[in-house]
């Protein structure tokens, strides 16, 4: 399992979570419930990791909303900090850009 995702799941479990302004905008744009995303982080599957991202380590994960629809979520931890877990963005993956499992980008 991803070390970054494990830290994020622990932070969310302990209530140390923040949703960025951009995250709220993207959740609203795609009709995704913030509660669904935060609640489902325990079932997240790593798609891509960005341990050296300039703003802090982050990870793109596949999650499901309460109706089982796929949601890609970028979770991060601010650079130089140990908390909170930050929901950076979330969106419904496009089947034109992703494989059928939404785990790999199409080339």
Q: What is the pLDDT of residues 35-90, one digit of tens each?
A: 999 999 999 999 999 999 999 999 999 999 999 999 999 999 999 999 999 999 99
**CA-based nearest residue to 56, from 38, 34, 74, 37:** 74
So what's the architecture of 3-91 in CATH? Answer: 2-Layer Sandwich (3.30)
- State yes or no: pLDDT of 1 exceeds 80: no
Q: What is the pLDDT of residue 39?
A: 94
Distance CA 86, CA 75 (A): 6
Q: What is the pLDDT of residue 107?
A: 85
Domain ranges of the chain: 3-91
pTM: 0.95
Task: Give SS3 for 94.
Answer: coil
């Amino acid at each position: 399992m991803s070390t970054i995702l494990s830290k994020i799941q622990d932070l969310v479990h302990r209530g140390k979570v923040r949703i960025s302004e951009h995250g709220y905008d993207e959740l609203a744009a795609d009709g995704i419930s913030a509660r669904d995303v935060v609640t489902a982080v325990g079932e997240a599957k790593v798609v891509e990791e960005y341990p050296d991202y300039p703003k802090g380590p982050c990870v793109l994960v596949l999650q499901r909303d309460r109706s089982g629809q796929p949601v890609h979520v970028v979770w991060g931890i601010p650079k130089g900090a140990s908390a909170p877990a930050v929901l950076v963005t979330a969106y419904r993956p496009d089947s034109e850009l992703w494989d059928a499992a939404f785990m790999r980008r199409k080339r």
